A and B are shown apart, each in its own frame.
Chain A
Amino acid sequence: MKSSALKVLSESEIREIHRHGLDLLEHTGIRVNVKKMRHLLADHGCRVDESSRIVRFPGDVVEKYMGLAPREFPLCGPDPEKQWQMSPDQRLWSGLGTAIRFIDAGNANRRDAVQEDVRKHLVLFDHLPNITCNQMDIMALDIPMHTTHVELIRAWAHNCTKPTGMGAYGVMATTDMVEMVSMVMGGKDRIRDRHPFNVIVSIQSPLSTAGIQIEGLMILAENRFPCIMAPEAMAGTTAPVTLAGLLVQHNAEIVSHIVMAQVVNPGTPVYYGSVSTIADMRWGTAALGAVETGLLSVASAQLAHFYHVPCRAVAGATDSKLMDIQAGIEREQSMTLAALGGVNYITCVGTLESTNLGAHEMTVIDNEIIGRVERALRGIAVNDVSLALETIKHAGPDGNYLMEPHTQKHFRTEHFMPRVSDREQIEKWESAGRKTMVDHAAAAMEKILAEHQPRVMDPKLAAELDRYVETVSRRTVADFEAAEWEP
C-alpha cells in the first residue's frame, strides 16, 4: 500500500476551526485596503464599513463563493502541450522565495544575486525531474528593481518549459505580467483554461490586506491566473502563539481572499496557501525552518481539502545560512511532513536563510531529497511481481540476486536511485578527494548548465518580449505608484 497520510487535525477539529473562522469573518471582518474591492464585495452581500475599511463576510456569502473555486485545473509551460494537473490529489514541487544573495563554491562565496542566476535557476529547474514549477525565486540586484518581473518572464520564456509564477505587485506590474505571459502563450484566450503562471497573493496577517496584493488579485482573477492565497501568520507576533489559534485566523484570512477572487471572476483557480510559521521568541522573526511550519503545512492541507481546493505550503525552507546539517534537517523534515500531509504545491526548493539566500547546488540537492520523499510516500507495493516468489526459488539457498533478471527489471523503480548522495567506498572516496554531497551537486549543476537546452525560442516572440521589457525599463518607480488604485 501507499504510505499512510499524516493528519494533525481530527474531522471535528477541522470543522471547529472552520466554524470559528466563519465567525471571525462575519463579526470581526477583514480590512480590505482597496476601495474597488470593497465595493465589489458590498455588491455581493458583504457588509462594508468605509471608515475603517473593514469588510464583514456573512456565512452564506462565504459558502456560496467558496463553492465556486475549482477543485482542479491544469498547469502548463510556455509550450502548452507540456501539462500538469493541479488538484487536492496531486503533488508538485516548486521553488519560491526572493533570494537577494547567493552562495556557491561549496558555501564559501557569498554574493549578490544577479540576472544570470535567474537564467541558471530556470535552466536547472527545467532539467531537474522532481521539480515542476518555479516562483519568482531570485531578486537580481544588477537590474533596475522595477524591471524584475518583466526580466523574469523574458528569462522564463527563453529558458524553461515548466510553469512559473511571481507575486502580485500592484496594478502596473501585475498588468505587465498578464500582458507578457499572454504574449508568450500566444494570446489571452490561450491562458484561460491552461495556466503557466501561478501568482502568490500575500495576505497581511492579522486579518488585513496589502493594497497592492488585492489590486493584483483583481487583475489576475479577471484573467483567470491561479492565485495562491498566502498568509505568513507567525505564531506569537502576527497570530496567536498557539497553533490552533493561528489556524483559526489564517483560515479566515485565506477564505476571505478565495471569496474575493470568486467575486471578481467565478471559477478562478485558487490555492489555499500557507507560509505560516512561528515567530522565534528570542528575535521576533519568522522561523521558516521550524518543525511547527511542517505541522501548519499538514493542517493547511487538511483545511484546503475540506474546502475542495489544492493546498500550497512552504517546505524546504531553512533558517540556516549555509548548506549545512541544519539546512539538511529543516528542509528534509518540512518536505516529508508537507508531502505526507497531502500538500499539493510545495514551494521553496533551492533556498536558504528563510528564502532570502539562494544556492544552485541546493536546488540540485533538493531535487534528490524530493526523490527520497516521493519514494517514502509510494510505500511498499505488494503484488505477484513484487513478491518475487519465482525469483526467490530460482536464486535458491546461497543464491545471488544481482544476476537475476528480476533485479535488473525492477531496481530502478523499486529503489530510489540517488544522484548526488555519496555512497562511495572509503578508499575510492579518499582518493577522489573526499567529496561531499555539495561537491557532487556542484558538479551535477555544471553539467546540466553546460548541456541542457530547454527550448528553441521563436525570434519573433523574443523581439516582442524585448520591446516590452524596453518599454518597462523606461518607466520610473513613480510611474508604478501613480498607477495604484484608491485604498
Chain B
Amino acid sequence: MSENHLAKLTEAIVQINMEEALEIAPRIIAGGMPALEILNGALVPALDRVGVLFRDGEYFLPDVLMCVSIYNQIFAQIEPDLKQGDYKSRGRVMLGTVKGDTHDIGKNILSALLQGNGFEVINLGMNVPPEVFLQKATETEPDVIGMSALLTTTMPEMKKTIDLFIKSGLRDRYKFVIGGAPVTQAFADQIGADGYGAEAQSGVDLLKQLLS
C-alpha cells in the first residue's frame, strides 16, 4: 500500500495536481513512513521526471515552478524528520540580485529549478549590496554564490562584490557564478567569476558541473 501511495504522490506532483498531492502527502506521513523514504520514493523522482519533461519541451517554466512549489510544501512537512536522517542536498547555493537592481524573475526561475534539482537555495532577494552578500555567506556557508544583474549599470556591482570577498580573504571559500541578460562569459572571465549561465537551465547545468 505504501508503494502505491508514493507512486500516487509522484504522479500528482508530476501532473501538477496540487490539491491531490497535498492531500496524499500528510496521509503518508501520518502512516509512519520515514521522511527519507518519502523524499527518495516520491519527491525526488517526481522532480526528476519534471526535469526531463522540461528538457524535452513538454513542460514550461510555470509547470516547473508549480511542481517545485508543491515539492517545497511537502518538503517542509518532512524536513524536521530529515535532520536526523542522512539526507544531503546536492549543494547550497546563495542567490541575489546585485545592488541597485530590482529584477529578479530570472533569479527566481533559477532558484526554483535548482530546488527542483536537489540543491538547497538561500535567496537573498533583490538590491543586495556586497556587504550583505559577505555577511550572509559567512553566516550560511554556501558552496556557491550566484549574482544576477539585468542592467549594464549594475553589472559593476558583481565585480565589487567579488573584490570585497578577495579583500576579506574569503574569495576561495566559495564559487561565484553570474547571470542576467547583459552579462556574458567574457564579463565573467574579466571579473574573475567561476562561471556564467545564459539562462536558468544553463545555470543548473553549470552548478552541477561546478559541484560535481
What is A's interface to B at a CB cutoff of 8 Å?
398, 400, 402-403, 405, 407-408, 411-412, 417, 419, 425, 427-428
Alpha-carbon distance A428/B16, docked complex (angstroms): 28
Whether the pair A398, B198 counts as a contact (CB closer than 8 A) is no
Whether the pair A400, B105 counts as a contact (CB closer than 8 A) is yes
Whether the pair B198, A402 counts as a contact (CB closer than 8 A) is no
Contacting residue for B108 out of A400, A407, A411, A412, CB 8 A: A400
Of B20-28, B39-47, B60-68, B165-173, the one contacting chain A is B60-68
Q: Which of B1-31 contact A (CB under 8 A)?
A: 16, 18
Whether the pair A402, B61 counts as a contact (CB closer than 8 A) is yes
Whether the pair A428, B198 counts as a contact (CB closer than 8 A) is yes
Whether the pair A408, B102 counts as a contact (CB closer than 8 A) is no
Contacting residue for B65 out of A398, A402, A419, A427, CB 8 A: A402
Whether the pair A428, B109 counts as a contact (CB closer than 8 A) is no
Q: Which residues of A contact B66 (CB under 8 A)?
A: 405, 408
Given contacts A403-B65, A427-B184, A427-B198, 6 further A-B contacts (CB under 8 A): A398-B102, A400-B105, A402-B108, A405-B18, A405-B66, A412-B60
B32 at interface by CB-CB < 8 Å = no
Whether the pair A402, B202 counts as a contact (CB closer than 8 A) is no
B57 at interface by CB-CB < 8 Å = yes
Contact with A along B83-115 (1 / 0, CB 8 A): 000000000000000000010110011001000
Whether the pair A408, B109 counts as a contact (CB closer than 8 A) is no
Q: Total A-B pairs in contact (CB under 8 Å)?
A: 36
B199 at interface by CB-CB < 8 Å = yes
Please provide the 10 A-B residue pairs with the shortest distance between their CB atoms, ordered closest to farther.
A408-B62, A427-B198, A408-B66, A407-B62, A400-B105, A425-B198, A403-B65, A411-B62, A428-B198, A425-B199
Alpha-carbon distance A398/B184, docked complex (angstroms): 26
- Of B62, B63, B202, most A-chain CB atoms within 10 Å: B62
Alpha-carbon distance A425/B182, docked complex (angstroms): 12
Q: Which residues of B contact A417 (CB under 8 A)?
A: 60
Q: Which residues of A contact B154 (CB under 8 A)?
A: none
B57 closest partner in A (C-beta):
A419
Contacting residue for B60 out of A398, A403, A411, A419, CB 8 A: A411
What is B's interface to A at a CB cutoff of 8 Å?
16, 18, 57, 60-63, 65-66, 69, 102, 104-105, 108-109, 112, 184-185, 198-199, 202
What's the minimum C-beta distance from A333 to chain B, rounded to whole angstroms? 28
A428 closest partner in B (C-beta):
B198
Would you call the interface of chain B mostly helix, strand, loop, or mixed?
A: helix
Alpha-carbon distance A76/B38, docked complex (angstroms): 48
Q: Which residues of A contact B102 (CB under 8 A)?
A: 398
Q: Which residues of A contact B184 (CB under 8 A)?
A: 427
User: Known interface pairs A425-B199, A428-B198. Does A402 touch B62 (Cβ–Cβ under 8 Å)?
Assistant: yes
Whether the pair B109, A402 counts as a contact (CB closer than 8 A) is yes
- Of A403, A411, A428, most B-chain CB atoms within 10 Å: A403
B65 closest partner in A (C-beta):
A403
Alpha-carbon distance A394/B57, docked complex (angstroms): 29
What's the minimum C-beta distance from B73 to chain A, rounded to whole angstroms? 12
Alpha-carbon distance A402/B184, docked complex (angstroms): 24
Alpha-carbon distance A428/B179, docked complex (angstroms): 13
Alpha-carbon distance A65/B172, docked complex (angstroms): 89
Q: Which residues of B contact A407 (CB under 8 A)?
A: 62
Alpha-carbon distance A270/B105, docked complex (angstroms): 54
Q: Which residues of A contact B108 (CB under 8 A)?
A: 400, 402-403
Q: Which residues of B contact A403 (CB under 8 A)?
A: 65, 69, 108, 112
What's the minimum C-beta distance from B59 to chain A, rounded to whole angstroms? 10
Alpha-carbon distance A419/B60, docked complex (angstroms): 12
What's the minimum C-beta distance from B47 to chain A, rounded to whole angstroms? 15
Alpha-carbon distance A232/B202, docked complex (angstroms): 53
What's the minimum C-beta distance from A399 to chain B, rounded to whole angstroms? 10
Alpha-carbon distance A405/B62, docked complex (angstroms): 8
Would you list 5 pairs from A and B whose C-beta atoms are within 8 A, ordered by A residue?
A400-B104, A408-B16, A408-B62, A411-B62, A427-B202
What's the minimum C-beta distance from A33 to chain B, rounded to whole angstroms? 54
Alpha-carbon distance A417/B108, docked complex (angstroms): 22
Contacting residue for B202 out of A400, A408, A411, A428, CB 8 A: A428
What's the minimum C-beta distance from A419 to chain B, rounded to whole angstroms? 7
Q: Which residues of A contact B185 (CB under 8 A)?
A: 427
- Of A398, A408, A412, most B-chain CB atoms within 10 Å: A408
Whether the pair A408, B199 counts as a contact (CB closer than 8 A) is no
Alpha-carbon distance A150/B185, docked complex (angstroms): 60
Q: Which residues of B contact A412 (CB under 8 A)?
A: 60
Q: Which residues of B contact A425 (CB under 8 A)?
A: 198-199
Alpha-carbon distance A165/B136, docked complex (angstroms): 69
B61 closest partner in A (C-beta):
A402
Q: Which residues of B contact A402 (CB under 8 A)?
A: 61-62, 65, 105, 108-109
B184 closest partner in A (C-beta):
A427
Q: Which residues of B contact A427 (CB under 8 A)?
A: 184-185, 198, 202
User: Known interface pairs A425-B198, A427-B198. Does A408 touch B105 (Cβ–Cβ under 8 Å)?
Assistant: no
What's the minimum C-beta distance from A222 to chain B, rounded to whole angstroms? 48
Whether the pair A428, B199 counts as a contact (CB closer than 8 A) is yes
Alpha-carbon distance A407/B16, docked complex (angstroms): 13
What's the minimum C-beta distance from A185 to chain B, rounded to whole angstroms? 35
Alpha-carbon distance A136/B153, docked complex (angstroms): 60
Q: Which residues of A contact B60 (CB under 8 A)?
A: 411-412, 417
Whether the pair B65, A408 counts as a contact (CB closer than 8 A) is yes
Alpha-carbon distance A3/B112, docked complex (angstroms): 37
A426 closest partner in B (C-beta):
B198
Q: Which residues of A contact B109 (CB under 8 A)?
A: 402
What's the minimum C-beta distance from B180 to chain A, rounded to whole angstroms? 12
Q: Which residues of A contact B104 (CB under 8 A)?
A: 400
Alpha-carbon distance A332/B69, docked complex (angstroms): 40
